[in-house]
Amino acid sequence: VQLQASGGGLVQPGGSLRLSCAASGSIFSINVMGWYRQAPGKQRELVAIISSSGDTNYADSVKGRFTISRDNAKNTVYLQMNSLKPEDTAVYYCNANVRISNANTRYYWGQGTLVTVSS
């Protein structure tokens, strides 16, 4: 199973970006999908997660600005980021809990995509 993230880049404060992460490989189904980020010199932190039924949870720092969504038919999770701030600058990683057989699930990480918010 591979997770391929895309959509990062350089954006000015107040701007928007949309991240995508597509899962591929031997997938029975995908449970929770999420986005994490790691800023320079800091630990990786949760940004947002979404269940297979669409329930969501957000870090307080992004509530009201970021929206997580998923397309189960495409095994893809998205992160719409609006009103971006310099403190949102980080490498963003997608994560998925994938059922790879009837009895087994595993967590997988994407390769990370850099988001830089700067004027």
Is residue 2's pLDDT more than 90? yes
Q: What was the pLDDT predicted at 102?
A: 84
User: Of 85, 113, 101, which is closest to residue 20 (Cα–Cα)?
Assistant: 113
Q: What was the pLDDT predicted at 112?
A: 93
How far from 3 is each of 22, 35, 55, 84, CA to CA, in Å?
6, 12, 21, 24
Q: What was the pLDDT predicted at 90?
A: 98
Residues 72-107: pLDDT tens digits? 999 999 999 999 999 999 999 999 999 988 889 999
Q: Average the pLDDT over 49-72 and give the result.
A: 97
Interior/surface letters 13-47, b for 16+ CB within 10 angstroms, e for the rest: eeeebebbbbbeeeeeebebbbbbbeeeeeeeeeb
Is residue 110's pLDDT more than 90? yes
Q: What was the pLDDT predicted at 92?
A: 98
